[in-house]
Amino acid sequence: MTNATTQQIAVIGAGLMGAGIAQVSAQAGHPVVLRDVTDAALQRGLDGIRASYAKFVSKGKLTAEEAEAALGRITTTTDLGAVAEADIVVEAVFEQLEVKESVFRELDKLAKDGAVLASNTSAIPITRIAAVTERPEFVVGVHFFSPVPMMKLVELVRGYKTSDHALAVARQFAEGVGKEVVVVNRDVAGFVTTRLITALVVEAAKLYESGVASAEDIDTACRLGFGHAMGPLQTADLTGVDILLHAAHNIYSETKDEKFAAPEIMARMVTAGDLGRKSGRGFYPYEK
Ligand SMILES: NC(=O)c1ccc[n+]([C@@H]2O[C@H](COP(=O)([O-])OP(=O)(O)OC[C@H]3O[C@@H](n4cnc5c(N)ncnc54)[C@H](O)[C@@H]3O)[C@@H](O)[C@H]2O)c1
């Protein structure tokens, strides 16, 4: 394995997650190329990274020089051909199988031999993404959490054909950017984390829908009873009710397990536009 910090990283998608992954990678010393489809998306991503570094500097967790140096290690491009130099490619585009499949088909053509192709998907089986490539043994799930610079966890996911080598490279990368990893040995839909939170949110929404308890009391029960930092309905509002409904549909369609059958209220909320914090109302109202 090459020296960790000299590994070139390519991040595909400069949204919330991609920008965060580029940020922590550059901070750990990696040269990073960040790719999105438009210059506007790249600019937004870079602005977010700059603002986040500035926050770390103002809190004394990073010096201004370190932040400048890290920023200097990030280049942006709309050209996917830029992945040719990368040792590790981390894909963080929209959570849609067709979009990810088309990105991985291209990566398979453009990435160098031996490059590890990682996906930040929250719930799509890695085996399905890997299947569109001629090198499934190099495809691995590297699931970061939001906000990336703050959240310590990375869930590493082994697809059906992921090699020990690819998993080891992914582990070294994730630990090198300061994260703690858990390994998911079989890429069941939702892996471990999305499966757990989806089951909890679905059950909480069912209890709320059937009037068993108020949203506040359901969340308080989890916070004070189990020591959770946030209740499940608050988490749903933060993550997006639409995102969790989509995750529940995906996991249910793979498993046919009733505990992932989302209650009607979640579908009604999404249809009505009550998506959580981002829309100003979910299980709770928010100031826009
Ligand atoms: N948001 C979260 O809390 C979270 C947490 C963990 C994992 N994820 C996963 O991370 C991935 C990205 O999520 P996000 O929240 O950053 O989404 P986002 O919508 O903020 O960003 C996605 C970015 O991908 C870009 N994109 C789309 N197609 C592209 C392509 N072909 N090439 C390059 N860029 C492309 C879009 O322009 C956009 O900038 C998803 O798979 C999501 O499930 C999200």
Q: How confident is the model at residue 232 (pLDDT cuts 50, 70, 90)?
A: very high
Kindly report the pTM of this predicted structure: 0.92
Whole-number mean pLDDT of the chain? 96
Question: Distance between CA 250 and CA 253 in Å, rounded?
Answer: 5
State pLDDT tens for residues 116-154: 999 999 888 999 999 999 999 999 999 999 999 999 999
Architecture of domain 193-279 in CATH?
Orthogonal Bundle (1.10)
Asked if pLDDT for residue 288 goes beyond 70, the answer is no
Nearest CA to ligand 1 atom 27: 93
Q: Is the CB of 43 under 6 A from ligand 1?
A: no
- Of all residues in the chain, what percent carry a pLDDT higher than 90? 94
Q: Would 9-184 and 193-279 be classified into the same CATH topology?
A: no
Q: Is the CB of 17 under 6 A from ligand 1?
A: yes
CATH class of 9-184: alpha beta
Q: Is the CB of 281 under 6 A from ligand 1?
A: no
Asked if pLDDT for residue 222 goes beyond 70, the answer is yes
Question: Distance between CA 25 and CA 63 in Å, rounded?
Answer: 17
Asked if pLDDT for residue 60 goes beyond 80, the answer is yes
Q: Is the CB of 96 under 6 A from ligand 1?
A: no
Rounded mean pLDDT, 59-75:
97
Query: What integer pLDDT is reported at residue 5 of this predicted model?
Result: 65
Query: What integer pLDDT is reported at residue 95 of this predicted model?
Result: 87
- Of all residues in the chain, what percent carry a pLDDT higher than 70? 98
